[in-house]
Every structure is written in C-alpha cells, then in structure tokens.
Amino acid sequence: PRRRDPGGQLTAGSPGLRNPTAGRNLVTAQTGPNGAPVHQILVEEPAAIAREIYLAITIDRVHRRPVMIASASGGVDIEETAASNPEAIATEAIDPVLGLMPFQIRRLTARLELDSALARSAAQVMTSMYRFFVEADCSLVEINPLVVTSDGNLLALDAKVNLEDDALFRHSDLKDLADPSQENELENRASDMDVAYVKLDGNVGCLVNGAGLAMATMDVIAARGTTAANFLDVGGGASVEKVADAVKIILDDSDVDRVLVNIFGGILRCDIAAEGIVKAYKEKGSRLPMVVRMLGTNVDQGKSTLRDSGLPVTPG
C-alpha cells in the first residue's frame, strides 16, 4: 500500500522537488501552524511495502513501568486506529527488574500475525528496542512503520526517539545531536538559564516557584475558564537577575496578554521576586498587566516594591 499522508516525504520526480525544500519551513500536524525549518534532507531508496506494523516502547503512568505496544495496523493512521479500534493495539507491561520477557515477545508477535521467520526477526527488533530504551534513558522509542517488504523481510522505515531531559547528562553523545532550530526559542532560552519552562497554547503567562505550586496554579487558571500560556518554575534559590530573565521570557511570548505570578516566599524571598519583576518590566518597557500573589518571607517589602513601581502590576 501507498502511504496516504507522507508529510515531508517526497518521491523522485514529484512536483514538490521542483522547489528547494532545504531552508523552508515545513508545516505538519506535529509542527503546528508555524512549522519548523528544514536544514537536512535524507535520501533513501524506496521500499516495496506489503504490510505496515507499529512498534513502540513508552512509560505507562498507570502501571508505573515501561510498556511495549504493537499493532498489525501500523502507518500514518495509528492514532485513528487506537481511537476507533483499540482491540487492534496489543500491549505488554514490562517489569523493569526482569526486562522484556520471551513469553511477552511471543504474545506480541502472535498479535502481529507474522510467520515464524518474520516473528524471529520481530523478536530481535523488540529486544533491541527495549535495550536501547533502557540504556539511553528514553521516554519513547517508536518504529512506525516497521514494514514487511514484498520479498518477506522486515524494514524500519521511520523511527522516533524521545530522551528524558533529566538524564541527558549521562549521554553527551546524544545531547550533541540536538538541533535548537527545531525547538521552541523561548524553551531554549529557559534551558540555558536552568529554568523549567514549557510553552503551552494559552494566553495567561504563569511564573511560580515550585513545580507543584505551578501545576496547582495552572489548574486555578483553567478553573477560571482561561488557559496558561506556559509552565514556568523559576526555582527556590533564584536571584533578582534570574527572576527578571524568567519574566522576560513570558513578556516575549506574543501569545501572552496577561500574567499571573504565584510566589510562596521561602528560599526565594518575596522581595527578591518583586525586584526581579520590576527589573524585567523596566528593561523591556512592558505594560502587560500582571497580578502577583505572594506570601511568605519579606512579603510586605515585596508588595511595597510592586506598588511603588508605577507598573501595571497588582500585588495580591
């Protein structure tokens, strides 16, 4: 079968090759409306596809362990298959102490309806996937599609790997493969500052100290019928400069039309947070409305700094 949604894939002689692809932005369902720049082109020999299979390993948060996922209905429609026909998706929860067991592999290959020769090849693929998943500290290893070719062999046509950010210090060789141009610019800035920041789709900028408090604050924003533009945990021991730089990231987000700050003053004192906020606003010349809820160490000094700043910042 032909792939109905090739995305960025072009075949030799297709009209799309008449215009240079490199240097342009590629827009797909995964990139969002702004797309992502194309800096590299991979040229491959086409494969004669008889069947498409889906294989993946990820973390199952319910079972709190890795899970191997397999489906005989692989390809670009796997998400639709999972939603409309979940029985077509086979899973095996993996004991992290024992690893992927032979009996689990046999059950999965049986669901894939492979003959004995292909089942042995698929077993080798699954074993290698799990070994890489563990050794590289991955959160996802996916092959889609793993195709059965017309001459009866298995061939991985496309693969995706997600690495656990907090484990990258153990994998400098993999970290060097990162292409910042494919990532969000604001997230790159935050990473350079050692600030936990994730860009989201809402319009309310959010700055908090502490991941748990940040999640709770985002829930409050959602409960009021709005959505957060980001997750940002500035951390417990932030300086005035670090707070200011974190605020600037929010102010530079064109999707943000208001900002909510929630500070529990402990290691990060309220007066330090307030000075950082004022510094960022004055240096950016911003008039974006901000509400600051702060409580804890030096809260009175912090609120006084905000009130006396003359900025559109409301302490609460």
Q: Is 17 exposed, middle or buried (0-12, 13-18, 19+ CB in 10 A)?
A: exposed
Q: How far apart are CA 178 and CA 195, in angstroms?
A: 18
Which residue of the set 52, 54, 275, 281 is catalytic?
54
Please report the DSSP string for 266-285 in residue order.
SSS-HHHHHHHHHHHHHHHT
CA distances in angstroms from 245 to 65, 241, 261, listed in the order given: 37, 6, 14
Q: How far is CA 288 from the centre of its chain?
A: 28
Q: Is 187 a catalytic residue?
A: no
Provide the H-helix boundaries in the chain.
78-84, 102-111, 116-135, 172-175, 185-192, 211-223, 240-251, 270-284, 299-307
Q: List, in order, residues 6 or more apart from 202 with CB less than 8 Å away.
A: 221, 226, 227, 228, 229, 230, 255
Which residue of the set 52, 92, 130, 142 is catalytic?
142
Beta bridge partners of 292: 261, 315
Tell me, what DSSP letter sits at residue 156? E
Q: How far apart are CA 276 and CA 209, in angstroms?
A: 13
Expressed in percent and rounded to 5, the helix, strand and coil fractions of the chain are 35, 25, 40
Q: Is 130 a catalytic residue?
A: no
- Please state the length of the chain: 316
Q: List, in order, residues 6 or more apart from 39 with CB less than 8 Å away.
A: 22, 23, 179, 181
CA distances in angstroms from 135 to 66, 127, 131, 175, 224, listed in the order given: 13, 12, 6, 14, 43
What residues are annotated to the active site?
Answer: 54, 142
